[in-house]
Amino acid sequence: MAQLAERPVANTPRVGKPGDPCVMVIFGAAGDLTARLLLPALYNLARAGLLPKEFAVLGVARAQMSDEDFRKKIREDVKEYCGECIEDSSWESFAQRFYYLTGNFNDDNLYPQVKDRLAKIDHDHSTHQNFFYYLATAPSFFGRIVEKIAALGLMDQGNNHWRRVVIEKPFGHDLESAKVLNQQLLKLADEKQIYRIDHYLGKETVQNIMAFRFANGIFEPVWNRRYIDHVQISVAETVGVEGRGSYFDHAGTLRDMVPNHIMQLISLTAMEPPISFDANAVRDEQAKILHAIQPMSDQEVLTRTVRGQYGEGTAAGERVPAYRAEADVPPDSRTETFVAMKLLIDNWRWADVPFYLRTGKRMPVRNTHIVIQFRRAPFVLFRDTSVEHLMPNQLVLHIQPEEGISLQFAAKVPGPVMRLGTVDMNFEYQQYFGKQPSTGYERLLHDCMIGDQTLFQRADMVEAGWSVVDPVLNVWTALPPRNFPNYPAGAWGPKEADDLMEHDGRHWRNFEQ
């Protein structure tokens, strides 16, 4: 395998200014998202010198805890999910910034308590009345929480302070509900105050898509229908529903992954060059792509989409149960755990270039990647040689678990006969720049503190993503599946997903590790 020439690992710390003085209020502070991702991300920011000195966190949840209990829990969580990253010399000053308030989000009496605690924390830590609220809660609480804090003036901004709210996915469960939620939020806050977060955009490779395309003169000239045959986007997960059977069975993979994660990957891969890296300039171009995706007719949904549900099988060498045997899942569930579809973008750059996407649970490996497959070179030069066919070039953007970029091309095999072999040229972030502890949320939280919305979805982007998904939901609801489960755990999805591409003379690129 051909490798890029070795280069010294970069030792220079990431350049960046600390966030503005502020208080982060985490609604749902006792939950899994906070423990696994938000707390380690905040600690990594503190170690990198990117948290302001005037910073504090107020956690709000139903669990009964004191401030000190919360600080002990934080240490346990960060130690569990961040491994050996805790440094005793820096931990104490970090932990002393955390406070806790017990309350039920449905209790109107909670929100005046939040206001009172914020006033004291703001005074003690000199945070300049800058507050941002992270809604790590069930989606049913999104509108209510923002409505209650706004009624107390906690979303009001002034010349010398700001207020922001970060909203996790899922943002609605279909197009209509997303519109309703957007309308509700925009009555309470300005679009510039609303940060709809998608943690995929915190991954280095995803952020690097724009840099890769627009900072390198050798790629952008061929990034179009003249040179590219098709694009594949795969988001494969090895896990099942992990104890979230009740939630997942109402959502399904289509709602859970496609309108947010995958639409973001499509928009960054296909967008036109923005006029600058200003947040709205970038998001304008992303929105144009999402609006340009051709909506499918009912008949096209039947021929260009595939849904699947895993049965029992083998994962990581162990037998695992079928989806319908998971906890809190009905034994006759019709919810999909796998989705594949073929999308077309109706603009000049991408006319007739299909975008194939697939995502599913209980697949052989955990792997997210984007494959750019170029058109085959003309065979005419090789017709009188022993070369029987030419392999197309592929550019692969590896997003997880390993982040990097690889380029596959043909080279002559040494010897007296003209034979071609496939060669991979690989770049891995960790090899070149060293490994930095990261959950994917560090960049996003820091951007929220400095007011950069580039990596956050705008209202029109959310609705455009749902407009692609809605026709599929409608057909799938009207015509329930008859053959679930239709792929064993540990497989790359149902056979129909392979057929989707093979019908066009193409095939999926699978990575086994």
SS3 508: coil
User: Is the preceding peptide bond at 401 cis, omega within 30 degrees of 0?
Assistant: yes
Helix (H, G, I), strand (E, B) or coil at 217: coil
**How far is Cα 490 from Cα 274, in angstroms, rounded to an integer?**
41
Torsion angle in degrees (nearest 10) through CA of 116, 118, 120, 123: -140
Measured between alpha carbons, how far is residue 361 from residues 236, 366, 466 in Å?
Answer: 7, 9, 21
What angle (nearest 5°) sits at the alpha carbon of residue 141, between those of residues 135 and 147? 85
As annotated, the active-site residues are 261
Q: What is each CA distance from 447 to 195, 196, 361, 456, in whole angstroms?
A: 10, 12, 31, 9
* 3-state SS assignment for residue 313: strand
Q: How far apart are CA 456 and CA 279, in angstroms?
A: 9
In contact, 68 and 110? CB cutoff 8 Å: no
End-to-end CA distance of the chain: 16
Q: Which long-range contacts (CB under 8 A, 24 or more apart) does 324-329 make?
A: 324/484, 324/485, 326/240, 326/241, 326/245, 327/243, 327/245, 328/245, 328/246, 328/249, 329/241, 329/245, 329/248, 329/249
User: Which has the closest alpha carbon to 426: 68, 139, 3, 91?
Assistant: 3
Segment (H or E) for 40: helix 39-47
Angle at 206 between CA 201 and CA 209, to 5 degrees: 135
Tell me which residue has tokens 């939630």.
Answer: 247
Contact 287, 458 (CB under 8 A): yes
Q: Where are the beta strands (DSSP E) in 128-183?
A: 131-135, 163-167
Query: Which residues in 80-162 belong to E strands, given as ranges?
Result: 98-102, 131-135
Query: What are the distances in angstroms from CA 24 to CA 73, 76, 149, 447?
Result: 17, 20, 14, 13
Look up residue 206 and give its two tokens. Answer: 């995803």
Q: Coil, strand, or helix at residue 101?
A: strand
What are 391-398's contacts with CB under 8 Å, separation 24+? 391/420, 391/422, 392/229, 394/509, 395/219, 395/371, 396/369, 396/370, 396/371, 396/372, 396/509, 397/205, 397/208, 397/209, 397/212, 397/269, 397/369, 397/370, 397/372, 398/205, 398/367, 398/368, 398/369
